[in-house]
Amino acid sequence: MAKSAGKALATFNMDRANNSAKLAEAKQKIDQALQTPEAQALPSAWLTKGEVYRTIIEGDMAKRMINPKTPLSGDNDALIAFEAFKKAFELTTKKYEKSDAIKAIIDLQGYLINIGVEKFQTEAYEKSFLSLQGAVQAHDLLKANQQPSALDEQKQYSDITYFTGKAASLANRHKDALAYYNLLYVAGMDSAFVYEGIYSTKMQLGDEAGANITLQEGRKKYPEDASMLFAEINTYLKAGKLAELTDRLKQAIKQEPTNVGLYVTLGNVYDNLYQAQLKEKDNAGATQNFDEAKKYYSQAIATDSKSVDAIYSIGALYYNKAAYKTQEMNAMPEDYSSAGLKKLEAAKNEVMALFDEALPYFQKAESLSPNDINTLIALNEIYARKEDETLSAVFKKRLETVKGGGKNEASYFKK
């Protein structure tokens, strides 16, 4: 059957215009033949399969020279052909068969790269990985046999090897990804992207200690690289190392001054430091960090006036301060003297003033995002404290709608 497939392919090659059915016949017969252990042991059968699929992919690529949008006959006939020739090379002891396999692999390598890149661009990461992996394996085989490779230039080799690892990572093949990133690292062809890739895959594989070592090495080698900086920021965030984060985030803001999320994140860091210092009764430090938090939230709004996160966060900053002052007020000793009542009234006024500071921000946040539960809770609570029964009821109802799985069709405080 394998021989019959070879004959059908030969007939097709004699007159391609009129014998297209012979190529389909060759494909059907060689696929069927190689389902048997007998054919699987024959290098000639694998060579035939490689030739059949190489013929198919070459025909497809020729059509693409005329119309780049021409679909491929198969999903990746170049990869099937490469694997067949590779298998033939491994099985045969005949020099001419080894030579035929190597020559075919030289022809196929470019197709493997092109199809791998195409599949990466369409987010078919598993298929992209397999095709690019084939291209790198072809390179290794060609170099071992003193043959030219499409990846002979160092930049081309490092780029394709990196994207092979990246495709593996995006396909959740983290061990494969790490292997390809390490190829570049060991060969001294690293870059900040390689360090970031090794770091992220080690984190995915649960090797947090190894990931952090890689991160420190990468940050030292590429101190200005944004990807390494953001990886470090995420690590500190995860570990809750707030004090160490501020300098990193300020550096990130310098590198990406229009990135609203960085301002909000830095505001959150100062917000958390403020709350920690309140608990420690460090009033001076708390005040300083409160002001820093507000400053960076405000810068976020200046960068994007519709940043709901930033707008809500300033409201929450005042709201939480009011809640803390309320706790202090409730802890005041009972004192019904004139001085004691005056002190209590002053505390109440301070709390309400803070709620009043928070209110416009929550109103603005609601106008932009009318179904945010936290915003609705805050508005309901503030109006209840202000003894505005009407608006408190309005926001209680709107809150219940969202909690019940529904949506408020429009904001109450229209934009």
Q: What is the pLDDT of residues 105-136, one digit of tens each?
A: 999 999 999 999 999 999 999 999 999 999 99
Query: Residues 281-308: what's their mean pLDDT?
Result: 93
The pLDDT, as a whole number, for residue 415 is 58
Residue 160: inside a domain: no
Q: What is the pLDDT of residues 130-189, one digit of tens each?
A: 999 999 999 999 999 999 999 999 999 999 999 999 999 999 999 999 999 999 999 988
The pLDDT, as a whole number, for residue 157 is 95
Residue 362: inside a domain: no
Mean pLDDT score across all residues of the chain? 92
Residue 74: inside a domain: yes
The pLDDT, as a whole number, for residue 19 is 87
Residue 64: inside a domain: yes
The pLDDT, as a whole number, for residue 347 is 83
CB 226 within 8 Å of CB 255: yes
Residue 103: inside a domain: yes
Tokens of 398: 């709107």
The pLDDT, as a whole number, for residue 244 is 78
pLDDT band at 272 (very low <50, low <70, confident <90, very high): confident
Domain membership of residue 72 as a residue range: 1-152
Q: Minimal CA–CA distance to 126: which of 64, 81, 176?
A: 176
Higher-confidence residue: 335 or 108? 108
Q: Number of structural domains, the chain?
A: 1
Residue 239: inside a domain: no
CA pair distance 242, 245, nearest whole angstrom: 5
Q: What is the pLDDT of residues 173-230, one digit of tens each?
A: 999 999 999 999 999 887 888 999 999 999 899 998 999 899 889 888 888 787 777 7
DSSP 106: H
Residue 110: inside a domain: yes
Q: Most distant CA pair in the chain: distance in Å? A: 112
Residue 229: inside a domain: no
pLDDT band at 352 (very low <50, low <70, confident <90, very high): very high
pLDDT band at 243 (very low <50, low <70, confident <90, very high): confident
Question: Cβ atoms within 10 A of the Cβ of 67, count?
Answer: 8
Higher-confidence residue: 245 or 170? 170
Distances (CA, A) of 414 to 24, 192, 234, 393: 65, 46, 36, 18
As a residue count, the chain comes to 415
Q: Over pLDDT 70: what percentage of the chain?
A: 100
The answer to whether residue 64 scores a pLDDT higher than 70 is yes
6-10, 323-327, 411-415: least confident range: 411-415
